[in-house]
């Protein structure tokens, strides 16, 4: 469960991490901040700055018109129901701090960069040494000396190193104490007078662990079923509606991302493997998706059309493990039908098709008819992901993963 920014900052402040002076506003409210301020739409998704969800105002008088504009917007599929007004900081430096869980090492991992802010993802591609990662024990926490080593390795020393390391240790404490799956501050700003403040943060809580978090659960008690629906984008809601078209199979479990390669991938571990393989190659996935259990042609076609009509999506990658409960010919027929409904050419719209299994020859015959290049079971999921990324040309284009 992703907390709204203002909810996450409440927790950070309680744990000793400084945040700007702020007030939460509903439609019609007037900010209590006197001077220059940032007005930030409270939506549970990243990239809102580029989408026009973060605006500035010189004072409370100017803020009225800006707020009216913000409350009338939809930010990447979400209506704006609340805005966080924050004192505008005089920023000298920005840093990136994050704690997440490494499922391979089965340990929490720190990610730190001395270059924070918008497009921080590009830093690791431009300067791999500029991002420092270090595992630590969830039981013992992140020791202060380890936090200092991380910051020093990134090239920061002196008083700033001590200050940032202290914030990093506290953030690790938030991660473990709150049963989080992600605790991120971006940016952690050093102001002109030398203070540190978390200007933005993301905090994702393991929903299955909420029974151990009575304080957080109480903080979230206001969320009704309607407000939970507000955390779901139009894209995800439409995918769920497609999955509900009929009882046959699964086609529509979806998580939205901001990339340019649409994914139609098999459920369970295979879908996670395919998604990770694309992401690791800078494949810029537009979504995570699960299909399986022999969905109807109608459902696969509707899902394909939905993904391809998502703004910014250029191609789709269809990747599944060897399947016995899903007919390859029905998947192929649905994919082709969905592409044709968008007015595109299947051979151009499909970056890769790798669905080996039952009725395989019939499925491949359909793909042959439309000139689609496909892979059989001799090509691994990782190799299929590499083919898709190569066909998209991401090696040369770069961009947000």
Residue 228: the pLDDT is 45
Could you tell me which residues come within 8 angstroms of residue 214 by beta carbon, excluding any fewer than 6 positions away?
none
DSSP character string of 156-186:
--HHHHHHHHHHHHHHHHHHHHTTEEEEEEE
In this chain, the answer to whether the domains covering 91-219 and 234-397 adopt an identical fold is no
Q: Which pTM value belongs to this model?
A: 0.63
Q: What is the mean pLDDT of residues 272-284?
A: 91
pLDDT of 268 strictly over 80 = no
Residue 95 near residue 190, CB atoms below 8 Å: yes
What band does 396 get if pLDDT is binned at 50, 70 and 90? very low
pLDDT in tens, 295-351: 999 999 999 999 999 999 999 999 999 887 899 999 999 999 999 999 999 999 999
Q: What is the mean pLDDT of residues 148-162?
A: 94
**3-state class (DSSP) for residue 382:** helix
Q: What is the mean pLDDT of residues 116-137?
A: 75
Residue 12 near residue 201, CB atoms below 8 Å: yes
Residue 80 near residue 41, CB atoms below 8 Å: yes
Q: Let me know if domain 91-219 sits in CATH 3.30.470.20.
A: yes
Domain ranges of the chain: 21-87, 91-219, 234-397
pLDDT in tens, 238-265: 998 999 888 899 888 888 888 999 999 9
pLDDT of 227 strictly over 70 = no
pLDDT of 222 strictly over 70 = no
E-assigned strand segments in 170-211: 180-191, 196-198, 201-205
Residue 70: the pLDDT is 92
Of the candidate CATH numbers 3.40.718.10, 3.40.50.261, 1.10.3720.10, 2.60.120.560, the domain formed by 234-397 belongs to 3.40.50.261
- Tokens describing residue 104: 């391979």
Crossing angle (nearest 10°) for helices 297-308 and 328-341: 40
Q: What is the mean pLDDT of residues 121-145?
A: 82
Q: Please tell me the distance from the alpha carbon of residue 304 to that of residue 298, in angstroms, as a whole number.
A: 10
Place of tokens 């707020």: 67
What band does 231 get if pLDDT is binned at 50, 70 and 90? low
pLDDT of 118 strictly over 70 = no
Q: Let me know if domain 21-87 sits in CATH 3.30.1490.20.
A: yes
For residue 4, the number of C-alpha atoms closer than 13 Å in the C-beta half-sphere is 22
Q: Please tell me the distance from the alpha carbon of residue 9 to that of residue 91, in angstroms, as a whole number.
A: 18
């Amino acid at each position: 469960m992703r907390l709204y920014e203002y909810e996450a900052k409440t927790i950070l402040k309680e744990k000793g991490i400084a945040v700007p002076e702020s007030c939460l506003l509903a439609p019609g409210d007037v900010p209590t901040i006197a001077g220059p301020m940032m007005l930030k739409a409270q939506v549970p998704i990243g990239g809102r700055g580029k989408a026009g969800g973060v605006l500035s105002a010189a004072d409370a008088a100017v803020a009225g018109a800006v707020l009216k504009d913000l409350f009338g917007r939809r930010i990447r599929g979400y209506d704006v129901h609340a805005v966080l007004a924050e004192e505008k900081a005089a920023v000298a430096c920005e840093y990136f701090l994050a704690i997440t869980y490494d499922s391979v090492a089965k340990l929490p991992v720190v990610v730190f960069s001395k270059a924070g802010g918008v497009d921080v993802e590009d830093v690791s591609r431009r300067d791999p040494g500029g991002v420092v990662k270090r595992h630590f024990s969830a039981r013992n926490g992140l020791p202060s000396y380890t936090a200092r080593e991380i910051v020093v390795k990134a090239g920061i020393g002196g008083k700033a190193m001590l200050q940032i390391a202290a914030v990093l240790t506290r953030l690790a404490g938030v991660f473990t104490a709150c049963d989080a799956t992600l605790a991120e501050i971006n940016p952690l700003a050093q102001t002109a007078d030398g203070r540190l403040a978390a200007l933005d943060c993301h905090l994702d809580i393991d929903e299955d662990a909420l029974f151990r978090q009575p304080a957080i659960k109480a903080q979230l008690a206001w969320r009704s079923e309607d407000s939970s629906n507000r955390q779901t984008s139009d894209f995800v809601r439409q995918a769920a509606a497609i999955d509900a078209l009929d009882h046959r199979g699964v086609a529509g479990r979806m998580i939205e991302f901001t990339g340019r390669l649409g994914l139609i991938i098999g459920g369970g571990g295979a879908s996670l493997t395919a998604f990770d393989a694309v992401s690791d190659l800078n494949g810029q996935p537009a979504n995570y998706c699960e299909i399986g259990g022999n969905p109807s042609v109608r459902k696969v076609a509707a899902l394909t059309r939905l993904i391809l009509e998502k703004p910014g999506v250029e191609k789709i990658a269809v990747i599944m493990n060897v399947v016995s409960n899903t007919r390859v010919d029905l998947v192929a027929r649905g994919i082709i039908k969905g592409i044709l409904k968008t007015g595109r050419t299947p051979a151009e719209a499909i970056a890769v098709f790798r669905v080996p299994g039952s009725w395989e020859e019939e499925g491949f015959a359909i793909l042959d008819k439309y000139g689609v290049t496909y892979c059989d079971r001799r090509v691994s999921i990782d190799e299929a992901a590499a083919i898709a990324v190569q066909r998209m040309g991401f090696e040369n284009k770069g961009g947000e993963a």
